[in-house]
Chain A
Amino acid sequence: MNESDLIIKLEHVSKTFNGVKVLDDVSLDIKKGEFVTLLGPSGCGKTTTLRIIAGFRKPDEGRLFMDGRDISEVPPYRRPLNTVFQRYALFPNLDVFDNVAFGLKLKNTPQEEINKRVKKVLKLVSMSDYEDRDVDSLSGGQQQRVAIARALINQPKVLLLDEPLAALDLKMRKDMQIELKEMHRKLGITFIYVTHDQEEALTLSDTIVVMKEGRIQQIGTPTDIYNEPVNSFVADFIGESNILDATMIEDRKVRFIGQDFDCVDEGFGQNEPVDVVVRPEDIYIVNKLDSVQFTGTVKSCTFKGVHYEMFVNTDNGNELMIQDYNAFEPGSRVGMLIRPNDIQVMRKRCLRNEFEGEMVAADKVEILGGEFSCNAQEGIAEGDKVKVSVEFSKVDLLDNQEDGILTGTVHFILYKGDHYHLEIHVDGGGHIFVDTNDIWDKGDLVGINILPNDILITKGND
């Protein structure tokens, strides 16, 4: 990419609030005229990124460039970009005209020009007849339009939008999405848009930046992000999906739900454990049981307007979500097919829990601040630094926090067809991944226990 095509460039930006790292080494290039969406769940750092670009927050580390110029230290009022705030932040003491004219009046623009430009920009947002209205008398959607007009009047090179449609009802949101897209096309300036709504991001953006816990997970076009998610988080966050444990047998051959499938992915190791994503609309479901790849029993079938959504239990015990235009009766036997193109193979973040630990006794090891009993091993003595590894499925979660050696909170849940894959944030720092058949909810407080036989200890490197 040509450097001169870039308008905004973030280089290794990090930010910590009250000891929590909300942005962790974020680097991002934004092209001129692009509609970029920062997408992620709450607390992923998307709003902080936007506020750093706007200038309301200073990065702890890293630089911010605009048009090749370092603007990390430039105060917000000198940055040639404008923001549309989540709750509009229209000045309640000014009417619509004065709100929109605010930026121009600060620059001592002649009254005649102010009148002309305010009229023009209000026309752009279809609010021409509202000049004299109090902002309090406007509906949410109208206030949103005024806020956009106010931000656009300074003719910024970049427009920042912080969840601008979050407060609107569904119908209004859909209409505004179309209008925003149209506005972006007309103005030709760069839009940087923050949202947690994946559908909105897919509809509006040229480029989507998926974020989680202060890190960028994937940058790509909406189709890339949807069809080729890089990890199970992105796959789960964007759209409906079946995410399953699989093994890459060799290039272009992957095994899951007890079946070998042809796929199009290469470059994984032989027999490497991977995750696969299959979108529910990409599984073909038929009534016949021969000349199909695998068979199963329909568990439920729900009409969703355009399509039916079915849950099917495969014969080897996995559950798949399938969307199809035809309904299949619950209880009926069906056959299924998946095309190689529709299987997206993703590298696993890790294969098992790995911790740095320390032996506090010959048969006791400390990990993440908790002391676990383990089997004594030859050559490893008290005080040794060790590497500890625990299989995902060998971690026990307990309802009563007091019963656990460690305590934590369920942070992220992924349904893998025949089990749940959980990420537990351990109180006091660190995280543990758990595979379980039990149903937990996000935010549940749990006790964590590991049996001595399941703790594998090897000597540390030092």
Chain B
Amino acid sequence: MTKRANWSIPYAIFMVIFVVLPLLLILVYAFQDSSGHFTMANVTRFFSDKDALSTFALSLEVAIENTAICLLLGYPVAYILSNKKLNRASVTIILFIIPMWINALMRTLATASLFQMMGVELGKGTLIFGMVYDYLPFMIYPIYNTLQKLDPSYAEAAEDLGANPFQVFTKVILPLSKPGIVSGIMMVFMPTVSTFAISEFLTNNKIKLFGTIIQDNINNGSTWNYGAALSLFMLVIIGITTWISESGKKEEGGDSLI
């Protein structure tokens, strides 16, 4: 082993203790009963647990809605921010990033208080609002980054070949910003599927998301193993979405995460 390779040892130890080991524990717990014997019961229980299944469906729905709204709001913002003609001050991008500096939990609590103060009933609407508010910067930033690095001569070449401004956008800018869109979707979709704090605060626990169920099962000492199985299931779902979007990104020749 070379000297330089030795430098990675602390990181390797860290990764084993804080990433590999916990993942293995989830795997082990998911296939054990409370007395430590191997069982498939936790996994089969999920597919017969109507409550868990419908919560899971709702989580997916909320995550998809949130991601879609973030994309629809975030893309135009990123486009305007990256366009030097429309955005002359580099400060404006910071205004959109500043919310990321503040802890998401605090922002969520503050949003909930605001709604209560205004007398808005907490429910799905406030949940989606809170999520969009929390995750919008994560959509804007990767798209902004991609658009900003885009060589303006692509747009000029398209215009030169006869594309009007609308066609320049749909045929060149949009396809070339796909890696940013994919990153944005990942960064918004993944955390929203597993969130529980936002739904807890912004719906007053009226709406339960998948993350909430996992949390309930883990907190309630006797159902650890079922909680682990649910976590495993969510990991698989996130893994699949990552794989799909990464393979889409590779086609476009963009940078890849895995």
User: What are the interface flags for B158-181 relative to A under an 8 Å C-beta threshold, 1 for contact and 0 otherwise?
Assistant: 111111100100011001101000
Q: Does B221 contact A (CB under 8 A)?
A: no
0/1 per residue, B133-172, Cβ < 8 Å to A? 0000000000000000001011011111111100100011
Q: Scoring A residues 77 to 116 as 1 if CB is less than 8 Å from chain B, else 0, what string do you get?
A: 1100011011101111100000000110011000000000
Taking a contact as CB atoms under 8 Å apart, the answer to whether B156 and A56 are in contact is yes
CB contact between A82 and one of B161, B164, B171 (< 8 Å): that residue: B161
Contacts of A214-248 to chain B: CB distance below 8 A? none
A82 partner residues in chain B, CB cutoff 8 A: 160-161
B window 160-205: CB within 8 A of A: 160-164, 167, 171-172, 175-176, 178
Instruction: Tell me, yes or no, whether B119 is within 8 Å of chain A by CB.
Output: no
Which positions 52-67 of chain A face chain B at CB distance < 8 Å? 54-56
| A347 to B23 CA separation, bound complex (whole angstroms) | 84
List residues of chain B with CB within 8 A of the CB of A90: 157
Determine the chain A residues whose CB is within 8 A of the CB of B157 once the complex forms: 83, 85, 89-91, 150
Chain B residue numbers with a CB within 8 Å of A78 are 162
Q: Measured between alpha carbons, how far is A78 from B252 in the docked complex, in Å? A: 30
Docked-complex contact B252 and A154, CB < 8 angstroms: no
- Complex formed: what's the CA distance from A82 to B157 in Å? 9
* Residue interface mask A406-417, B partner, CB < 8 A = 1: 000000000000
Within 8 A of B (CB), among A124-171: 134, 136, 150-151, 154
**Which of B161, B164, B172 is most buried by chain A, counting CB atoms within 10 A of its CB?**
B161
Q: Quick check: A77 and B151 within 8 Å, CB to CB? A: no
CB A171 to nearest CB in B, in angstroms, measures 26
A389 to B28 Cα, complex, angstroms: 93
B contact residues, total (Cβ < 8 Å): 20
Take A91-B172, A91-B176, A106-B167 as given contacts and tell me if A83 and B160 are in contact as well, using a CB distance cutoff of 8 Å: yes
Chain A residue contacts of B252, Cβ below 8 A? 93
From A85, A92, A102, A107, B156 is in contact (CB under 8 Å) with: A85
**A404 interface contact, C-beta 8 A:** no
Is B253 among interface residues, defined by CB-CB distance under 8 A? Answer: yes
Whether the Cβ atoms of B176 and A77 lie closer than 8 Å is no
A residues within 8 A CB of B167? 106
- Known A-B contacts A91-B154, A92-B253, A93-B252; the reply to A77 vs B172 at CB < 8 A is no
CA distance A106 to B164 in the complex (A): 9
Q: Is the CB of B153 within 8 A of A77?
A: no
- How distant is the Cα of A134 from the Cα of B176 in the complex, in angstroms? 15
User: Are B161 and A106 in touch, CB under 8 angstroms?
Assistant: yes
Q: Is A76 an interface residue (CB 8 A)?
A: yes
Measured in the bound complex, the distance between the Cα atoms of B160 and A224 in whole Å is 34
Q: A56-B156, A106-B167, A136-B253 are in contact. Are A89 and B151 (CB under 8 A)?
A: yes
Among residues of A, the one whose C-beta sits closest to the C-beta of B161 is A103
How far, in whole Å, are A372 and B153 apart by their CA atoms in the complex?
49
Q: Which chain A residues lie closer than 8 Å to B175 at the CB level?
A: 93
Q: Which residues of A contact B158 (CB under 8 A)?
A: 91, 102
A92 to chain B: which residues have CB within 8 Å?
176, 253
Q: What residue of chain A has the Cβ atom nearest to residue B154's Cβ?
A: A89
A76→B153 contact, CB < 8 A:
no
Within 8 A of A (CB), among B40-95: none
Q: For residue B159, which residues in chain A have a CB less than 8 angstroms away from its CB? A: 55-56, 75-77
Q: Which of A76, A86, A134 counts the most B-chain CB atoms under 10 A from its CB? A: A76
Are B164 and A77 interface neighbours, CB within 8 A? yes
The B216-258 residues at the A interface (CB cut-off 8 A) are 252-253
Query: Min CB distance, A442 to chain B, in Å?
Result: 29
Q: How far is the CB of A64 from chain B (nearest CB, A)?
A: 16
Indicate which residue in A77, A83, A136 contacts B163 across the interface (CB closer than 8 Å).
Answer: A77
The distance from the CB of A69 to the nearest CB of chain B, in whole angstroms, is 18
Give the complex CA separation of A446 and B178 in angstroms: 51
CB distance from A166 to the nearest CB of B (A): 14
CA distance A329 to B93 in the complex (A): 68
Contact assessment for B160 and A107 in the assembled complex, using a CB-CB cutoff below 8 Å: no
* Best-buried of B153, B163, B164, B252 by chain A (most CB within 10 Å): B153
Docked pose: A82 CA to B176 CA in angstroms: 22
Judging by beta carbons under 8 Å apart, are A85 and B153 in contact?
A: yes
Q: Which of A76, A86, A136 contacts B160 (CB 8 A)?
A: A76
Q: Could you say which residues of chain B place their CB within 8 Å of the CB of A86? A: 153
Assess the B154–A77 pair: CB atoms within 8 A.
no
Residue on B nearest A100 in the bound complex, by CB: B161
Measured between beta carbons, the chain B residues less than 8 angstroms from A75 are 159, 164
Closest CB-CB distance, A292 to chain B, in whole Å?
57
Instruction: Report Cα–Cα, A151/B161, bound state, in Å.
Output: 7
Chain A residue, CB-CB nearest to B176 = A93
Q: In whole angstroms, what is the CA distance A106 to B161 when docked?
A: 8
Across the two chains, which residue of chain A brings its CB closest to B164?
A: A77
In the assembled complex, the Cα of A187 lies from the Cα of B161 at a distance in Å of 18
Complex CA distance for A212 and B104, rounded to whole angstroms: 57
Q: CA A102 – CA B164 in complex, angstroms?
A: 13
- Contact between A87 and B153, CB atoms less than 8 A apart: yes
Give the residues in chain A near B151, CB-CB below 8 Å.
87, 89
Give the distance in Å from the alpha carbon of A404 to the alpha carbon of B175 in the complex.
56
Chain A residues whose CB sits within 8 angstroms of the CB of B156 once the complex forms: 54, 56, 76, 83, 85, 89
Given A78-B162, A83-B160, A134-B253, 15 additional A-B pairs, CB 8 A: A75-B159, A76-B156, A77-B159, A77-B160, A86-B153, A87-B153, A89-B156, A90-B157, A91-B158, A92-B176, A93-B175, A106-B167, A107-B162, A136-B253, A154-B162
A-B contacts, 29 listed (Cβ < 8 Å): A54-B156, A54-B160, A55-B159, A56-B156, A56-B159, A75-B159, A77-B159, A77-B161, A77-B163, A78-B162, A82-B160, A83-B160, A85-B157, A87-B153, A89-B151, A89-B153, A89-B156, A89-B157, A90-B157, A91-B154, A91-B172, A92-B253, A93-B176, A103-B162, A106-B161, A106-B162, A106-B163, A106-B171, A136-B253
- Of all A-B residue pairs in the complex, the 8 with the closest CB atoms, nearest first, are A103-B161, A89-B153, A89-B157, A76-B159, A83-B160, A106-B162, A93-B175, A77-B159
